[in-house]
Amino acid sequence: MLLAIDVGNTNVVFAVFDGDKMAGQWRISSDSRRTSDEYGVWLLQVMERAGLEPKKVKGAVVASVVPQTLFDLRMLAKNYFGCELLIIGAPGTNCGIAAKIDNPREVGADRLVNAYAAWQRYKQALIVVDFGTATTFDVVSGAGDYVGGVIAPGVNLSLETLHKAAAKLPNVGIIPPEKVIGTNTVGAMQSGIYYGYAGLVEGITGRIKAEYGAPMKVIATGGLASLYAKACSAIEHLEPDLTIFGLKALYELNQK
Protein backbone atom coordinates (compact mmCIF):
# COMPACT_ATOMS: atom_id res chain seq x y z
CA MET A 1 0.00 0.00 0.00
CA LEU A 2 1.02 3.61 -0.61
CA LEU A 3 0.56 6.59 1.71
CA ALA A 4 0.01 9.87 -0.18
CA ILE A 5 0.11 13.20 1.67
CA ASP A 6 -1.03 16.58 0.34
CA VAL A 7 -0.01 19.43 2.67
CA GLY A 8 -1.92 22.65 2.03
CA ASN A 9 -2.02 25.90 3.96
CA THR A 10 -5.37 24.99 5.53
CA ASN A 11 -5.56 21.19 5.59
CA VAL A 12 -3.34 18.13 5.28
CA VAL A 13 -4.93 15.29 3.29
CA PHE A 14 -3.74 11.72 3.89
CA ALA A 15 -4.76 8.93 1.53
CA VAL A 16 -3.90 5.25 1.38
CA PHE A 17 -3.85 3.37 -1.92
CA ASP A 18 -4.20 -0.38 -2.13
CA GLY A 19 -3.02 -1.02 -5.67
CA ASP A 20 -4.91 1.38 -7.95
CA LYS A 21 -7.78 1.77 -5.49
CA MET A 22 -7.91 4.54 -2.91
CA ALA A 23 -8.73 2.63 0.28
CA GLY A 24 -9.10 5.64 2.58
CA GLN A 25 -8.75 9.42 2.77
CA TRP A 26 -8.66 11.71 5.83
CA ARG A 27 -8.10 15.40 6.56
CA ILE A 28 -6.45 17.18 9.46
CA SER A 29 -5.85 20.90 9.94
CA SER A 30 -2.43 22.21 8.88
CA ASP A 31 -0.15 23.06 11.79
CA SER A 32 3.59 23.36 11.26
CA ARG A 33 4.12 22.62 14.99
CA ARG A 34 2.50 19.20 14.77
CA THR A 35 5.00 16.42 15.56
CA SER A 36 5.52 13.08 13.82
CA ASP A 37 4.05 11.31 16.86
CA GLU A 38 0.91 13.44 16.73
CA TYR A 39 0.48 12.60 13.06
CA GLY A 40 1.30 8.95 13.70
CA VAL A 41 -1.07 8.29 16.62
CA TRP A 42 -3.96 9.96 14.81
CA LEU A 43 -3.25 8.28 11.46
CA LEU A 44 -2.97 4.79 12.96
CA GLN A 45 -6.34 5.26 14.64
CA VAL A 46 -8.18 6.36 11.50
CA MET A 47 -6.54 3.59 9.47
CA GLU A 48 -7.59 1.02 12.06
CA ARG A 49 -11.18 2.26 11.89
CA ALA A 50 -11.04 1.84 8.11
CA GLY A 51 -9.76 -1.72 8.46
CA LEU A 52 -6.31 -0.93 7.01
CA GLU A 53 -3.10 -2.46 8.34
CA PRO A 54 -0.23 0.07 8.69
CA LYS A 55 2.39 -2.66 8.21
CA LYS A 56 1.19 -3.09 4.62
CA VAL A 57 2.24 0.48 3.72
CA LYS A 58 5.46 0.11 1.73
CA GLY A 59 5.89 3.63 0.36
CA ALA A 60 5.00 7.27 1.06
CA VAL A 61 4.92 10.43 -1.04
CA VAL A 62 4.18 14.08 -0.21
CA ALA A 63 3.64 17.44 -1.86
CA SER A 64 3.79 20.32 0.60
CA VAL A 65 3.39 24.09 0.43
CA VAL A 66 4.42 24.28 4.11
CA PRO A 67 8.14 23.35 4.21
CA GLN A 68 8.20 23.26 8.04
CA THR A 69 6.06 20.10 8.01
CA LEU A 70 8.48 18.00 5.96
CA PHE A 71 10.85 16.91 8.73
CA ASP A 72 8.06 15.49 10.90
CA LEU A 73 6.32 13.88 7.94
CA ARG A 74 9.62 12.24 6.99
CA MET A 75 9.89 10.92 10.56
CA LEU A 76 6.26 9.76 10.36
CA ALA A 77 7.03 7.64 7.29
CA LYS A 78 10.22 6.25 8.80
CA ASN A 79 9.09 5.56 12.37
CA TYR A 80 5.49 4.48 11.82
CA PHE A 81 5.62 2.83 8.39
CA GLY A 82 9.28 1.89 7.96
CA CYS A 83 9.72 3.62 4.60
CA GLU A 84 11.38 6.68 3.10
CA LEU A 85 9.22 9.66 2.19
CA LEU A 86 9.39 10.79 -1.45
CA ILE A 87 9.15 14.60 -1.47
CA ILE A 88 7.83 16.00 -4.75
CA GLY A 89 9.87 19.04 -5.70
CA ALA A 90 13.00 17.97 -3.80
CA PRO A 91 16.29 17.91 -5.74
CA GLY A 92 16.60 14.79 -7.86
CA THR A 93 12.86 14.10 -7.85
CA ASN A 94 11.12 13.66 -11.19
CA CYS A 95 8.03 15.90 -11.25
CA GLY A 96 6.94 14.46 -14.58
CA ILE A 97 6.41 17.88 -16.15
CA ALA A 98 8.69 20.71 -17.30
CA ALA A 99 8.02 24.11 -15.72
CA LYS A 100 8.65 26.57 -18.55
CA ILE A 101 8.35 29.81 -16.62
CA ASP A 102 10.76 32.55 -15.49
CA ASN A 103 11.76 30.78 -12.27
CA PRO A 104 10.68 27.10 -12.13
CA ARG A 105 11.55 26.88 -8.43
CA GLU A 106 8.71 29.27 -7.61
CA VAL A 107 6.01 26.79 -8.62
CA GLY A 108 4.39 25.03 -5.67
CA ALA A 109 4.74 21.26 -5.63
CA ASP A 110 0.97 20.84 -5.45
CA ARG A 111 0.51 22.86 -8.65
CA LEU A 112 3.01 20.69 -10.53
CA VAL A 113 1.29 17.56 -9.22
CA ASN A 114 -2.10 18.84 -10.40
CA ALA A 115 -0.71 19.83 -13.80
CA TYR A 116 0.95 16.45 -14.30
CA ALA A 117 -2.11 14.48 -13.19
CA ALA A 118 -4.48 16.49 -15.38
CA TRP A 119 -2.30 16.23 -18.48
CA GLN A 120 -1.80 12.50 -17.99
CA ARG A 121 -5.56 12.09 -17.91
CA TYR A 122 -6.59 14.39 -20.80
CA LYS A 123 -3.44 14.72 -22.99
CA GLN A 124 -4.27 18.21 -24.27
CA ALA A 125 -3.90 21.87 -23.34
CA LEU A 126 -5.54 22.50 -19.95
CA ILE A 127 -6.45 25.01 -17.29
CA VAL A 128 -6.52 23.48 -13.81
CA VAL A 129 -8.54 25.56 -11.33
CA ASP A 130 -7.78 24.66 -7.71
CA PHE A 131 -10.18 26.00 -5.07
CA GLY A 132 -7.85 26.00 -2.05
CA THR A 133 -6.57 28.60 0.40
CA ALA A 134 -5.74 30.47 -2.79
CA THR A 135 -7.71 30.00 -5.99
CA THR A 136 -5.10 29.05 -8.56
CA PHE A 137 -5.27 28.65 -12.33
CA ASP A 138 -2.50 26.47 -13.78
CA VAL A 139 -1.90 26.37 -17.52
CA VAL A 140 -0.59 23.21 -19.19
CA SER A 141 0.38 23.27 -22.85
CA GLY A 142 -0.68 20.67 -25.39
CA ALA A 143 2.85 19.26 -25.17
CA GLY A 144 2.43 18.65 -21.43
CA ASP A 145 4.54 21.56 -20.13
CA TYR A 146 3.63 23.83 -17.23
CA VAL A 147 3.64 27.29 -18.82
CA GLY A 148 2.27 29.59 -16.11
CA GLY A 149 -0.83 30.49 -14.19
CA VAL A 150 -2.83 32.90 -12.08
CA ILE A 151 -3.13 33.19 -8.28
CA ALA A 152 -6.14 34.84 -6.63
CA PRO A 153 -7.23 34.96 -2.98
CA GLY A 154 -9.21 31.88 -1.99
CA VAL A 155 -12.94 31.91 -1.35
CA ASN A 156 -12.73 31.34 2.42
CA LEU A 157 -9.83 33.78 2.73
CA SER A 158 -11.82 36.52 1.00
CA LEU A 159 -14.87 35.87 3.12
CA GLU A 160 -12.85 35.91 6.35
CA THR A 161 -11.10 39.16 5.37
CA LEU A 162 -14.42 40.80 4.52
CA HIS A 163 -15.83 39.83 7.93
CA LYS A 164 -12.76 41.14 9.78
CA ALA A 165 -12.45 44.39 7.83
CA ALA A 166 -16.09 45.45 8.02
CA ALA A 167 -17.43 45.67 11.58
CA LYS A 168 -21.11 45.25 10.63
CA LEU A 169 -20.68 42.29 8.30
CA PRO A 170 -21.20 38.84 9.86
CA ASN A 171 -19.24 35.67 9.19
CA VAL A 172 -21.38 33.64 6.78
CA GLY A 173 -21.20 30.20 5.21
CA ILE A 174 -20.64 29.58 1.52
CA ILE A 175 -23.86 28.31 -0.03
CA PRO A 176 -25.38 28.83 -3.48
CA PRO A 177 -28.07 31.51 -2.96
CA GLU A 178 -31.38 31.10 -4.75
CA LYS A 179 -31.08 34.54 -6.35
CA VAL A 180 -28.33 37.02 -7.11
CA ILE A 181 -30.04 40.06 -5.56
CA GLY A 182 -29.75 39.70 -1.79
CA THR A 183 -32.59 41.14 0.28
CA ASN A 184 -30.62 41.08 3.54
CA THR A 185 -26.98 41.36 4.57
CA VAL A 186 -26.31 37.62 4.77
CA GLY A 187 -27.97 36.99 1.41
CA ALA A 188 -26.05 39.82 -0.21
CA MET A 189 -22.73 38.50 1.13
CA GLN A 190 -23.48 34.94 0.05
CA SER A 191 -24.39 36.13 -3.43
CA GLY A 192 -21.25 38.23 -3.67
CA ILE A 193 -18.87 35.47 -2.62
CA TYR A 194 -20.61 32.73 -4.64
CA TYR A 195 -21.44 34.47 -7.89
CA GLY A 196 -18.44 36.76 -7.57
CA TYR A 197 -16.05 33.80 -7.65
CA ALA A 198 -18.06 32.12 -10.40
CA GLY A 199 -17.52 35.27 -12.45
CA LEU A 200 -13.83 35.30 -11.50
CA VAL A 201 -13.38 31.73 -12.78
CA GLU A 202 -15.27 32.35 -16.00
CA GLY A 203 -13.49 35.65 -16.64
CA ILE A 204 -9.95 34.41 -16.00
CA THR A 205 -10.36 31.12 -17.87
CA GLY A 206 -11.83 33.04 -20.81
CA ARG A 207 -8.87 35.41 -20.91
CA ILE A 208 -6.38 32.53 -20.63
CA LYS A 209 -8.03 30.73 -23.56
CA ALA A 210 -8.01 33.89 -25.68
CA GLU A 211 -4.32 34.50 -24.90
CA TYR A 212 -3.31 30.88 -25.45
CA GLY A 213 -5.11 30.78 -28.78
CA ALA A 214 -5.93 27.07 -28.97
CA PRO A 215 -8.63 24.76 -27.55
CA MET A 216 -8.25 24.06 -23.83
CA LYS A 217 -10.14 21.99 -21.28
CA VAL A 218 -10.93 23.46 -17.85
CA ILE A 219 -10.53 21.10 -14.88
CA ALA A 220 -11.63 21.98 -11.34
CA THR A 221 -10.24 20.51 -8.13
CA GLY A 222 -9.97 21.45 -4.45
CA GLY A 223 -12.35 21.53 -1.51
CA LEU A 224 -14.94 23.90 -3.00
CA ALA A 225 -14.69 22.73 -6.59
CA SER A 226 -17.94 20.74 -6.53
CA LEU A 227 -19.83 23.77 -5.21
CA TYR A 228 -18.58 26.13 -7.90
CA ALA A 229 -18.78 23.65 -10.77
CA LYS A 230 -22.55 24.07 -10.60
CA ALA A 231 -22.33 27.82 -11.22
CA CYS A 232 -19.40 27.99 -13.66
CA SER A 233 -20.20 27.01 -17.23
CA ALA A 234 -16.47 27.27 -17.97
CA ILE A 235 -15.69 24.20 -15.80
CA GLU A 236 -15.86 21.09 -17.97
CA HIS A 237 -14.55 18.38 -15.65
CA LEU A 238 -14.59 17.97 -11.87
CA GLU A 239 -11.61 16.10 -10.37
CA PRO A 240 -11.85 16.46 -6.56
CA ASP A 241 -8.97 14.05 -5.85
CA LEU A 242 -6.64 15.23 -8.62
CA THR A 243 -3.71 16.00 -6.31
CA ILE A 244 -3.89 12.69 -4.45
CA PHE A 245 -4.01 10.63 -7.65
CA GLY A 246 -1.23 12.79 -9.08
CA LEU A 247 0.94 11.96 -6.07
CA LYS A 248 0.36 8.26 -6.67
CA ALA A 249 1.28 8.62 -10.34
CA LEU A 250 4.46 10.56 -9.53
CA TYR A 251 5.49 8.03 -6.88
CA GLU A 252 5.22 5.28 -9.47
CA LEU A 253 7.11 7.40 -12.02
CA ASN A 254 9.98 7.91 -9.59
CA GLN A 255 10.17 4.22 -8.79
CA LYS A 256 11.02 3.61 -12.44
Q: Which residues form the catalytic set?
A: 110
How far apart are the C-alpha atoms of 81 and 58, rounded to whole Å? 7
Q: Are 101 and 147 in contact (CB under 8 A)?
A: yes
Q: Are 216 and 127 in contact (CB under 8 A)?
A: yes
How far apart are the C-alpha atoms of 118 and 116, rounded to whole Å? 6
How far apart are the C-alpha atoms of 154 and 23, rounded to whole Å? 29
How far apart are the C-alpha atoms of 50 and 215, rounded to whole Å? 42
Phi then psi for residue 200, to 5 deg, are -60, -45
